C-alpha cells in the first residue's frame, strides 16, 4: 500500500491491559492484513468494482490483483522533481508570477532598467522559499524512513520473522505485541486472551484515549501458534478503500462458511461566531444528577442553570444541604436517600414476574438500574473493586450511567465478547451480594439516525429481555399501551430536567420469547452479512424488534459549563460579535443554557430558530454557510468533536477545542485552543493585534513604494520622458529587501497599540476591526497623499539644493550624486514615518508637559557635571601633548582668511595649490536642464582671468567662440 491513502493507520496502538479474566496482559495477537489502496483489476480474475477480494496467507493469488506495497511516502519532491515542481509551486503565487513577468520584461531592449533590478530580489525570495521547502521535505523523508523501517513479526512458513513495515504484503499474517503500533489495516484473528479479545487505543488517529474492545471471530480463535496459523486459509470480500475511519463492510469466507466482518474485527486507523454546546461551552464531563423511575422523580441537587434562572427571577435559593448518603465521584453527583445504599428496594412493592419454572422478584427500580448496568459498550479497567475500577467508554454519558448503576448496587466489573458480569447488591436481602452473568446476544449500536441503543440479553434463568435507551422522541413512539400510566408523568419529569439544563435519556425494555427472537436473529445475521447497504438493512431489522416497549423511566445528566464561559460571551458581545449556539437540545434546555452562559438576557428580543432536520451536523453547516454567503460577514465556527468538522470548515475561520471528543475538530481547524474562554484572547487580543499589524504593513508598503516610485516619476518630466533612470539599479533592487525591510518586519511581528489587559478591558476596541476602520479607501487615500507630498519634497528639494553644489573635484553634482541624496532622504523618511506610527503618542504626551522641558535642561547638565570636572582637572594637571600645543597657539590665527593660508608654510604641492585656487574661481550656472550629462565648469577660462594656470579644455574654445559671436552681434 502507499501511505498517502492510509498513513493514519500507522498511529493506532495496542493499548493497556486486557480487561478480561483478571488483569492479565495480552502478549500476542495475530492479525490479517487488509489491502489499503484501490485495487487495479487483474486480467486473470477480474474483481467486482464494488468490492475487492483478498486471499489469506496466499501471496501468489494476491499477486494477480497487483496490490500496492506497504511503503508510505509523504514527501512532496524527489531529486528530479524538486526544482521543476518547487518552482511551479512558487509561481502559483500571484506575487511571484508578477515579478517573474517584470523580470522577463526587464531583459528586453525596451526596458529602461537593468535586469538586476528585478531578478536579484525575486531570486532571493525563491532561494529562501526553496531552501525552506527542501528542509521540510527532508524532515518528512526522515520520518517516512523511520516508519517504513519499523520492525514487525511476519509469519514465514511456521516461524515468526522480523521484517520492516515496507516489505509487508497484502494477505500476510503478522504478530503485534503489547503496546506495539499497527503496521497496516489488520483483521483480528486471535489473541493470547482465551476469549479472543484485545484492547486498542486510537489516540494518534482521532484523539480518543479510551480503550476500545476488538473481538475476533470464534472461528479463528485457534490460529495463534505459528504452526497452526500457517494452515489458515480464507478469503476476504470487503468494500473498496475509503476515508471512513469508523465503518467497515466485509465478509470472511473460511471453510465454505461466510462470516460477517465489522469494525470490531478491523483494527484501524469574525463578526459571527457559531458554537457547538457540548464540550465547547460545557466541560463534557457528564455527571449522573437526577432520574425518574416508575413515575417518581429522584435527585435533590440544584444545577447551575436552575441557580441562574432563580437569580434572573429575583428568587433566592437556599444552599442544598447534602445528605449522609450523597456520593460525588467522577461521573456521579447524586443525592437522594430513597435510592442510595439499597433503599430503592423499599420504594415499590416487589412485582412477581412469572417465567416458566422460575419466580423472579422484580421491581421497576431494579429494572431501571439493571438497564443502566447492561445496555452499553463500556469497558471496565483496573482492579475489580468499586473503588478502583475505571470505565472506558465511547462517550462520557455512557460512563456516567454505568457509574450510577454501580452506586445503586449493580456493579459492572467484567466483560467478555458474549457476556457481561454484574455484582448485584441488596437485590433479595439488604447487604447480600451476588455475581450474575448476563449473555449479550445482540447489540444494536447507537447512531445519529437511530438516536437509541439496544441490547438483547439472556438472564441466567433463560429469560430474554431487550433493553433500550435513547432520546424521548424515538422511545415514546415505540412504547406499548402498557406504558400509558407513567408516560405522562415521565414526560413532565423530562421537561423539568430539560429546563434545568440536564441531558435526558429514556429507558425501556421488552420481554422476548425464544421463537420471536430466533426468527428475528436470522434476519439480523442476514443484514449483518450483506455487502450492500448493510447499515440501512440493520436499521430496518432493528425496527422490527424495537417496538412495543415498556417505559421504565428516564435519566438526567449534568454537563456543567466551562469556567469563564459566561464572562467570555458577555465580553465578546460587548465587542460587537454576534454569537450563535447550535445545539440538538430541547427548546427549553437550549433557552435556559443560553441564559446561564449570558448569551441572552431579559432585555433582548428573542427569536427561536428550529431545524426540521434531525442531522445536527447538516443544520450547523447550512446555518454557517447562510450567514457567510448571504450576509457576507466574516464568520468563525468553534467546536470540539468530529460532528463539528463540517461547521468548522464552512466558516471563514475554524477553531477547534482539544477536549474529550478527539482531535478531529482540531485537525480540521485553523486555530486550536483548550477552552472556550480563551476565545477572548484569541479574538480581542491576538486577533485585533493581527488585524492592526496587517493593516499597517499593507498600507505602509503601499506608501513607501509609491513614494519611491513617484520620485522617479517627477524626474521623467525633466528628461522629456526619455526613459532615463533616476535611481541606480542596486537602489531599486535593495530598497524593499534591505533598506526598508527590518522596521516593517518588527512592526508586523511585535506592534501593540494597547496591552492585552486593556484590549480585554475595553472590548469595544474590537468594533473598529468589524467596521474595517483601518483599511478603508479613506485610509489608503491619506497614505497616498503623504506619498505624493514627500516624493515632491525629495525630488525638487534635492535637485534645487544641488544646483550650486560641487564635489571635491570641483565638479557640480551629477545625476548619481543627486539621486543618491534623494534615495537617502527617502529611506530615512519612510523609516521615521513608520516609527512615528508607534512613538507619536509618547512624543505628544512628553511635549505637552512642563516636566519634559525641565528635565531636558536639568538632567543633561547634572549628568555632564562630573565629566566637566574630570576634563578640567585632566587638562590643567595632566595634559596631553596636543592640549599643550593648543594652549601655546590659542588664538594665534584668528581673523586670517582662507586665501592667506596659502601664504603660510602649509607645504602644499603645486598641483594641490592649483586645485585649491581653481575651487575659489567664480562659477557660472549651467543652462542645461537635464541630468543626462555633467555641465562643464569652465575652469580654464576663469583661471586665466585670475592668473592661475590651468590646462585648456575643449569646451573653452566653444565658449570663447560663442562669447566672441555675441559681442560681434551686439556691435
3-state secondary structure 174-201: EEEECCCECCCCEEEEEECCCCCEEEEE
Task: Enter the DSSP assignment of 626.
Answer: I
pLDDT of residue 490: 93
Give residue for cell 430466533: 518
Amino acid 365: pLDDT: 66
Residue indicated by cell numbers 448569551: 599
Domain boundaries, the chain: 169-268, 287-317+326-560, 612-675, 680-886
First to last CA, the chain: 105
CATH code of the domain occupying 287-317+326-560: 3.40.1110.10
- Candidates 674, 307, 748; CA nearest to 500 is 307
Does the annotation flag 446 for ligand binding?
A: yes
| Residue (of 277, 280, 132) closest to 669 by Cα position | 280
The C-alpha atoms of residue 934 and residue 555 are separated, in whole angstroms, by 96
760 Cβ neighbours under 8 A, 6+ residues apart:
571, 680, 681, 684, 685
The DSSP code sequence of 422-449 is: EEEESSSSTT-EEEEEEEEEEEE---TT
805 labeled binding residue: no
Q: Which residues 6+ apart lie within 8 Å of 11 measured at CB?
A: 181, 204, 205, 269
CA 24/CA 39 separation, integer angstroms: 40
Q: What is the pLDDT of residue 842?
A: 65
- Phi first, then psi: give them for residue 104, nearest 5 degrees: -65, -40
935 Cβ contact list (under 8 Å, min separation 6): 812, 926, 927, 928
CA distances (Å), origin 381, targets 376, 415, 424, 919, 954 = 15, 10, 19, 100, 105
Cα torsion through 169, 175, 177, 182, rounded to 10 = 30
- Residue 644 known to bind ligand: yes
| Separation between Cα atoms, residue 38 and residue 241, nearest integer Å | 6
The DSSP bridge pattern shows strands 653-657 and 635-639 to be parallel
Residue 268 confidence (pLDDT): 42
868-908 pLDDT, tens digit per residue, is 898 889 889 888 887 888 788 776 654 444 444 444 455 66
Question: Would residue 310 be called left, alpha or beta, if left means φ above 0 and alpha means ψ between -120 and 50 degrees?
Answer: alpha
Q: Binding site annotation covers 503?
A: yes
Q: Report whether 316 belongs to an annotated binding site.
A: no
Q: Is 179 annotated as a binding residue?
A: no
Is 764 annotated to bind a ligand? Reply is no
**List of the chain residues with pLDDT < 50:** 1-48, 268-269, 349-362, 894-904, 924-942, 954-959, 961-971
Integer Cα distance of 690 and 687 in angstroms: 5
pLDDT at position 240 is 82
Active site residue 276: yes
Evaluate whether 228 touches 222 at the Cβ level (below 8 Å): yes
274, with CB counted inside 10 A (0-12, 13-18, 19+), is buried
Q: What is the model's pTM? A: 0.64
C-alpha to C-alpha distances, 421 to 130, 432, 507, nearest whole angstrom: 62, 16, 20
Closest CA to 117 of 729, 819, 735: 729
pLDDT, residue 784, reads 93
Any known ligand binding at 728?
Answer: no
Each residue of 395-422: pLDDT tens digit?
788 999 999 999 988 999 998 878 999 9
Cα four-point dihedral sign 801, 803, 809, 814 = positive
For residues 727 and 112, what is the distance between their CA atoms, to the nearest angstrom?
11
Q: How far is it, in rounded angstroms, from Cα 375 to Cα 398?
A: 9
The owner of cell 525630488 is 795
584 annotated to bind ligand:
yes
For 458, phi then psi, to 5°, come to -115, 125
Instruction: Pick the closest to residue 726 from 745, 707, 711, 742 (CA basis).
Output: 711
CA atoms lying within 13 Å on the CB side of residue 285: 9
719 annotated ligand-binding residue: no
Angle in degrees, 0-180, between the axes of helices 688-718 and 777-792, rounded to the nearest 10: 40
- 654 has binding-site annotation: no
C-alpha cell at 427: 437485590
- Of 144, 185, 276, 336, the active-site residue reads 276
Helix (H) or strand (E) holding 491: helix 484-499
C-alpha cell at 270: 469574525
276 annotated ligand binder: yes
Residue 278 is labelled as binding a ligand: yes
The CATH classification of domain 612-675, taken from the options 3.40.50.2300, 3.40.50.1000, 3.90.1150.10, 3.20.20.70: 3.40.50.1000
Amino acid at each position: 500500500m502507499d501511505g498517502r491513502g492510509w498513513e493514519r493507520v500507522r498511529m493506532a496502538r495496542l493499548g493497556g491491559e486486557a480487561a478480561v479474566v483478571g488483569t492479565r496482559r495480552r502478549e500476542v495477537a495475530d492479525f490479517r492484513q487488509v489491502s489499503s489502496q484501490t485495487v487495479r483489476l487483474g486480467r486473470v480474475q477480474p474483481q467486482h468494482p464494488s468490492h475487492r477480494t483478498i486471499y489469506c496467507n496466499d501471496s501468489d493469488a494476491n499477486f494477480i490483483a497487483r496490490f500496492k506495497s506497504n511503503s508510505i511516502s509523504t514527501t512532496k519532491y524527489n531529486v528530479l522533481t524538486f526544482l521543476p515542481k518547487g518552482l511551479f509551486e512558487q509561481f502559483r503565487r500571484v506575487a511571484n508570477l508578477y515579478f517573474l513577468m517584470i523580470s522577463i520584461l526587464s531583459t528586453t531592449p525596451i526596458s529602461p532598467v537593468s535586469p538586476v533590478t528585478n531578478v536579484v530580489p525575486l531570486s532571493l525570495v525563491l532561494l529562501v522559499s526553496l531552501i525552506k521547502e527542501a528542509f521540510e521535505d527532508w524532515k518528512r523523508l526522515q520520518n517516512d524512513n523511520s516508519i517504513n523501517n519499523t520492525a514487525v513479526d511476519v509469519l514465514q512458513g511456521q516461524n515468526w520473522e522480523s521484517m520492516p513495515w515496507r516489505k509487508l504484503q497484502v494477505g500476510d499474517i503478522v504478530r503485534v505485541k503489547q503496546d506495539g503500533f499497527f503496521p497496516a489495516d489488520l483483521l483480528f484473528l486471535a489473541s493470547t486472551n482465551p476469549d479472543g479479545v484485545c484492547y486498542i487505543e486510537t489516540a494518534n488517529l482521532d484523539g480518543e484515549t479510551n480503550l476500545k474492545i476488538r473481538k475476533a471471530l470464534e472461528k479463528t480463535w485457534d490460529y495463534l501458534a505459528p504452526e497452526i496459523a500457517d494452515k489458515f486459509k480464507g478469503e476476504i470480500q470487503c468494500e473498496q478503500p475509503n476515508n471512513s475511519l469508523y465503518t467497515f463492510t466485509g465478509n470472511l469466507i473460511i471453510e465454505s462458511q461466510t462470516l460477517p466482518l465489522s469494525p470490531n474485527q478491523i483494527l484501524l486507523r469574525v463578526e459571527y461566531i457559531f458554537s457547538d454546546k457540548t464540550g465547547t461551552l460545557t466541560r463534557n464531563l457528564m455527571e449522573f444528577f437526577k432520574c425518574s423511575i416508575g413515575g417518581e422523580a429522584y435527585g435533590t441537587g440544584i444545577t447551575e442553570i436552575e441557580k441562574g434562572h432563580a437569580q434572573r427571577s429575583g428568587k433566592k435559593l437556599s444552599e442544598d444541604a447534602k445528605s449522609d448518603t450523597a456520593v460525588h465521584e467522577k461521573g456521579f453527583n447524586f443525592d437522594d436517600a430513597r435510592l442510595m445504599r439499597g433503599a430503592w428496594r423499599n420504594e415499590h412493592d416487589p412485582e412477581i414476574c412469572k417465567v416458566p419454572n422460575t419466580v423472579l422478584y422484580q421491581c421497576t427500580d431494579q429494572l431501571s438500574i439493571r438497564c443502566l448496568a447492561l445496555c452499553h459498550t463500556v469497558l471496565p479497567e483496573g482492579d475489580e473493586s468499586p473503588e478502583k475500577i475505571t470505565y472506558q467508554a465511547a462517550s462520557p454519558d455512557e460512563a456516567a450511567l454505568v457509574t450510577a448503576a454501580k452506586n445503586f448496587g449493580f456493579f459492572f466489573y467484567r466483560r467478555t465478547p458474549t457476556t457481561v458480569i454484574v455484582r448485584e447488591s441488596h437485590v433479595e436481602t439488604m447487604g447480600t451480594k451476588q455475581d450474575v452473568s448476563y449473555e449479550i446476544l445482540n447489540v444494536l449500536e447507537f447512531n445519529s439516525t437511530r438516536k437509541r441503543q439496544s441490547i438483547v440479553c439472556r438472564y441466567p434463568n433463560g429469560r430474554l429481555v431487550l433493553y433500550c435507551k435513547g432520546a424521548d422522541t424515538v422511545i415514546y413512539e415505540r412504547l406499548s399501551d402498557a406504558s400509558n400510566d407513567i408516560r405522562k408523568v415521565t414526560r413532565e419529569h423530562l421537561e423539568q430536567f430539560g429546563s434545568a439544563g440536564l441531558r435526558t435519556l429514556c429507558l425501556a425494555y421488552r420481554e422476548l420469547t425464544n421463537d420471536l427472537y430466533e426468527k428475528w436473529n436470522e434476519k439480523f445475521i442476514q443484514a449483518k452479512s450483506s455487502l450492500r447497504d448493510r447499515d440501512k438493512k440493520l436499521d430496518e431489522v432493528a425496527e422490527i424488534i424495537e417496538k412495543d416497549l415498556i417505559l421504565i423511566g428516564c435519566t438526567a445528566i449534568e454537563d456543567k459549563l466551562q469556567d469563564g464561559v459566561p464572562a467570555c460571551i458577555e465580553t465578546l458581545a460587548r465587542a460587537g460579535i454576534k454569537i450563535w449556539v447550535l445545539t440538538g437540545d430541547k427548546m427549553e434546555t437550549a433557552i435556559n443554557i443560553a441564559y446561564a452562559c449570558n448569551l441572552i438576557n431579559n432585555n433582548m428580543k428573542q427569536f427561536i430558530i428550529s431545524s426540521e432536520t434531525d442531522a445536527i451536523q447538516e443544520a450547523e453547516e447550512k446555518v454557517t454557510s447562510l450567514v457567510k454567503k448571504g450576509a457576507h460577514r466574516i464568520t468563525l465556527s468553534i467546536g470540539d468533536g468530529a460532528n463539528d468538522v463540517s461547521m468548522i470548515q464552512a466558516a471563514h475561520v475554524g477553531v477547534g477545542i482539544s477536549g474529550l471528543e478527539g482531535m478531529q475538530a482540531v485537525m480540521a481547524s485553523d486555530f486550536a485552543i483548550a477552552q472556550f474562554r480563551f476565545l477572548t484572547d484569541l479574538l480581542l487580543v491576538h486577533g485585533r493585534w493581527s488585524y492592526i499589524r496587517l493593516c499597517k504593513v499593507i498600507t505602509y508598503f503601499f506608501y513607501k513604494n509609491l513614494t519611491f516610485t513617484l520620485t522617479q516619476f517627477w524626474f521623467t518630466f525633466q528628461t522629456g520622458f526619455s526613459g532615463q533612470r533616476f535611481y541606480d539599479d542596486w537602489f531599486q533592487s535593495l530598497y524593499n529587501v534591505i533598506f526598508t525591510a527590518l522596521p516593517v518586519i518588527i512592526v508586523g511581528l511585535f506592534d501593540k497599540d494597547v496591552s492585552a489587559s486593556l484590549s480585554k478591558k475595553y472590548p469595544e476596541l474590537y468594533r473598529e476591526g468589524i467596521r474595517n476602520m483601518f483599511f478603508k479607501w479613506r485610509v489608503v487615500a491619506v497614505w497616498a497623499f503623504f506619498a505624493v507630498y514627500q516624493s515632491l519634497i525629495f525630488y525638487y528639494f534635492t535637485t534645487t539644493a544641488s544646483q550650486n553644489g560641487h564635489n571635491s573635484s570641483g565638479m557640480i553634482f551629477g545625476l548619481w550624486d543627486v539621486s543618491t541624496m534623494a534615495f537617502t532622504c527617502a529611506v530615512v523618511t519612510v523609516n521615521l514615518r513608520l516609527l512615528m506610527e508607534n512613538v507619536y503618542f509618547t512624543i505628544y504626551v512628553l511635549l505637552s508637559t512642563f516636566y519634559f522641558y525641565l528635565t531636558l535642561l536639568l538632567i543633561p547638565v547634572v549628568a555632564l557635571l562630573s565629566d566637566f570636572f574630570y576634563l578640567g582637572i585632566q587638562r590643567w594637571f595632566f595634559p596631553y601633548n596636543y592640549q599643550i600645543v593648543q594652549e601655546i597657539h590659542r588664538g594665534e590665527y584668528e581673523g586670517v582668511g582662507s586665501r592667506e593660508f596659502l601664504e603660510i608654510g602649509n607645504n602644499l604641492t603645486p598641483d594641490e595649490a592649483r586645485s585649491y585656487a581653481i575651487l575659489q574661481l567664480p562659477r557660472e550656472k549651467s543652462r542645461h536642464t537635464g541630468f543626462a550629462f555633467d555641465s562643464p565648469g569652465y575652469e580654464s577660462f576663469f583661471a586665466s582671468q585670475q592668473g592661475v594656470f590651468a590646462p585648456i579644455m575643449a569646451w573653452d574654445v566653444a565658449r570663447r567662440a560663442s562669447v566672441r559671436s555675441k559681442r560681434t552681434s551686439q556691435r
